[in-house]
Amino acid sequence: MNPTRISRLFERLRATRRAGLIGYLTAGDPCPDATPELVAALERGGCDLIELGVPFSDPIADGPVIQRASERALRAGTTLRGVLEIARKIRERSEIPLLLFTYLNPMLRYGLDALGRDAAAAGIDGCLITDLSVEEAGPYVDAMRQHGLDTVFLAAPTSTQRRLELVAKYSTGFVYLVSRTGVTGEQATLSDRVAPLVELMRVVTDLPLAVGFGISKPEQVRAVASVADAVVVGSAIVRAIEQNIPLDQLARPLEQFARELAAGLVSKEK
């Protein structure tokens, strides 16, 4: 498989000894037309990769902030096909890596092969399915890789050694490490289980490691960036969108928030 924008990004980050900033937003929140500009604002603020969340009616892995964002996006008429159209519009102005972040049900309804084909054509670089067991991921992985898409899987502090090995086997691009158990959402303090999980995952893979769930402050970004290859911020970004609706007031505060988070990134030692 040819290198994707995701793998090329991590090559650049490694060469400059810098951790990356990954920003998540729910596509279509508060409306589909707003998302490309919000992505542009995050990129200007220092985000290196964007997770485009597909709104879903039963987001069991997400906390209340992202649940509300999904509800707003669904009310605005956002569908999986619509998210791919949003990606096309982002690609008209940006080469920032895009990771489709979704649940299994929308993908199955769309069709795995059809989604791989259409996502690649729209400029998506990879997919992450929050509720797909890695033990059952073979057909999905085959379909995505056939179309040149990375497959990113989740590992958690509770993952067994066997699960870590499977995540390493089926992941390309990077591995997403969940900093704690539970749903998404901002946390006042960073879990002390992050560094041990990073160390365990380093034993079984050479892929870059990104850490997310609960990260919302520059000091938390700095702490994670000192041990991992990238930091994922989701709920805090979605909350910033929620707090700054209407549309004409969204981009500037979002860009500033991303800039504050990016200031927490640290250079790696040689």
The 10s digit of each residue's pLDDT in 34-87 is: 999 999 999 999 999 999 999 999 877 788 999 999 999 999 999 999 999 999
Q: What mean pLDDT is predicted for residues 103-125?
A: 97
From the candidates 29, 43, 51, 118, give the one annotated as an active-site residue.
Answer: 51
DSSP string, 178-217: ESSSS-----SS--TTHHHHHHHHHHH--S-EEEESS--S
Burial of 37 (0-12, 13-18, 19+ CB in 10 A): middle
Is residue 209 within 8 Å of 13, Cβ to Cβ?
A: no
Of 27-36, 169-178, 185-194, least confident by mean pLDDT is 185-194
Per the annotation, the verdict on 62 as an active-site residue is yes
**What is the pLDDT, as a whole number, of residue 58?**
86
> Of the residues 29, 43, 48, 62, which is catalytic?
62
**Residue 17 region, left (φ>0) first, then alpha (ψ -120 to 50), else beta?**
left
Q: Beta strand pairing status for 209-212 and 175-178?
A: parallel
Span 187-206, pLDDT tens digits: 444 557 789 999 999 999 99
Residue pLDDT, tens place only, 208-223: 999 998 898 999 999 9
Average pLDDT over the chain reads: 92
Q: Is 229 a catalytic residue?
A: no
Is residue 185 very low, low, confident or very high in pLDDT (cuts 50, 70, 90)?
very low
Cα–Cα distance measured from residue 215 to residue 185, given in angstroms and rounded to the nearest whole number = 8
Residue 20 in this model has a pLDDT that exceeds 90? yes
- What domains can be seen in the chain, in order of their start residue? 5-262 (3.20.20.70)
